[in-house]
């Protein structure tokens, strides 16, 4: 079995403690529940040790089955899931957490390594109460670290103002055509790790971009591998998704080369003001 000892880690703040998280993980968004077990087992076989799911993906059960069927001990796996918008609120969040744990495999899964608020849903105005409930779960030993997804700086600052803590991590849409510099700068200034969803921009024309193709040809890698390597070198946690064994392995094979400063600058120049693919955080409720 391939080992992932060379995968870099990032440090997440968890109250007065800190924990290490693999910087390269495996995402299962849009993976069907009946295919999630095989995909997770393949990812763990390749060497991934971080798995990212969510209640709304409807594949927590399959993910849990894949972890249970793997030869990799649960203690070696960094597992993330998320509370969905309809489950926000103090008591609802705790019930949603218990339901997610049950789907993932029950008590053997605990403590969950990372629990995230999926969207801020500002019109509902429940994300602060949700975050407080998650902190209670962490302080009770059921979660190791708590974080958020798709939060803008004003949402992050409000959490700090009303709870005394910033989230450990902010998972946001982030790829070469949408680089989220303002969010990344705020997070860097406040000790919040940034994690990229849709790190490859959901494929499409980004994989045939001539700048990226030129870099890929020079380093002897694919464009997807160049993009994943770019995420790692600028400090993002990255969670590429695939159900194809060859692609799962390809996305992991990014630890044996480095991009130059010129490469990083060239990719930085690909940022676009209209590069967002998903909804704006203030528009989803």
- pLDDT tens for the chain, 285 residues long, are 344 458 999 999 999 999 999 999 999 999 999 999 999 999 999 999 999 999 999 999 999 999 999 999 999 999 999 999 999 999 999 999 999 999 999 999 999 999 999 999 999 999 999 999 999 999 999 999 999 999 999 999 999 999 999 999 999 999 999 999 999 999 999 999 999 999 999 877 899 999 999 999 999 999 999 999 999 999 999 999 999 999 999 999 999 999 999 999 999 999 998 899 999 998 877
**CA–CA distance, 97 with 262 (Å, rounded to integer):** 44
Q: Are 170 and 148 in contact (CB under 8 A)?
A: yes
What is the CA angle 76-81-84, rounded to 5?
175
Sheet of 112-117: strands edge to edge?
26-27, 50-52, 78-83, 112-117, 143-149, 169-173, 193-197, 237-238
Distance (Å) of CA 104 to CA 100, 111, 224: 6, 12, 30
Q: How buried is residue 246: exposed, middle or buried, by Cβ count under 10 Å (0-12/13-18/19+)? A: exposed
SS3 189: helix
Go through 151-180 and write b for each residue having 16 or more CB atoms within 10 A of its CB, e for each that does not: bbbebbebbeeeeebbbbbbbbbbbbbbbb
Give the tokens for residue 252.
Answer: 């992991």
CB atoms within 10 A of CB 227: 27
| Sign of the dihedral defined by the CA atoms of residues 64, 68, 71, 77, in that order | positive
Instruction: Give the residue among 91, 70, 48, 122 at the shortest CA–CA distance from 284.
Output: 122
Q: What is the pLDDT of residue 285?
A: 76
Report the C-alpha dihedral over residues 84, 280, 130, 237, rounded to 10 degrees.
Answer: 80
Write down the pLDDT at residue 5: 58
**pLDDT value at residue 142:** 98
Q: What is the predicted pLDDT for the residue at 2?
A: 42
Q: 18: which strand partners?
A: 13
Instruction: Judge whether 115 counts as a catalytic residue.
Output: no
In terms of pTM, does the model score above 0.85? yes
Interval 133-182: pLDDT, tens: 999 999 999 999 999 999 999 999 999 999 999 999 999 999 999 999 99
Tell me the C-alpha distance between 269 and 256, whole Å. 24
């Amino acid at each position: 079995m391939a080992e992932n000892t060379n995968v870099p880690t990032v440090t997440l703040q968890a109250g007065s403690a800190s924990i290490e998280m693999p910087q390269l993980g495996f995402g299962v968004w849009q993976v069907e529940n009946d295919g999630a077990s095989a995909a997770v087992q393949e990812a763990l076989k390749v060497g991934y040790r971080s798995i990212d799911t969510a209640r709304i993906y409807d594949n927590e059960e399959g993910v849990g089955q894949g972890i249970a069927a793997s030869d990799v001990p649960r203690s070696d796996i960094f597992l993330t899931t998320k509370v969905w918008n309809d489950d926000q609120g103090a008591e609802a969040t705790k019930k949603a957490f218990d339901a997610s744990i049950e789907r993932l495999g029950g008590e053997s899964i605990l403590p969950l390594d990372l629990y995230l608020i999926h969207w801020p849903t500002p019109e509902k105005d429940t994300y602060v109460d949700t975050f407080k409930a998650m902190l209670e779960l962490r302080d009770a030993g059921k979660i190791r670290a708590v974080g958020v997804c798709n939060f803008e700086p004003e949402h992050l600052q409000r959490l700090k103002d009303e709870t005394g803590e910033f989230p450990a991590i902010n998972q946001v849409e982030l790829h070469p055509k949408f680089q989220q510099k303002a969010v990344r700068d705020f997070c860097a200034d406040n000790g919040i790790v940034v994690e990229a969803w849709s790190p490859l921009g959901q494929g499409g024309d980004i994989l045939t971009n001539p700048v990226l193709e030129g870099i890929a040809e020079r380093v002897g890698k694919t464009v997807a591998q160049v993009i994943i390597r770019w995420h790692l070198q600028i400090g993002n946690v990255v969670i590429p998704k695939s159900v194809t064994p060859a692609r799962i392995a390809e996305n992991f094979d990014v630890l044996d080369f480095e991009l130059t400063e010129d490469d990083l600058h060239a990719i930085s120049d690909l940022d676009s003001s209209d590069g967002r693919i998903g909804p704006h955080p203030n528009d989803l409720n």
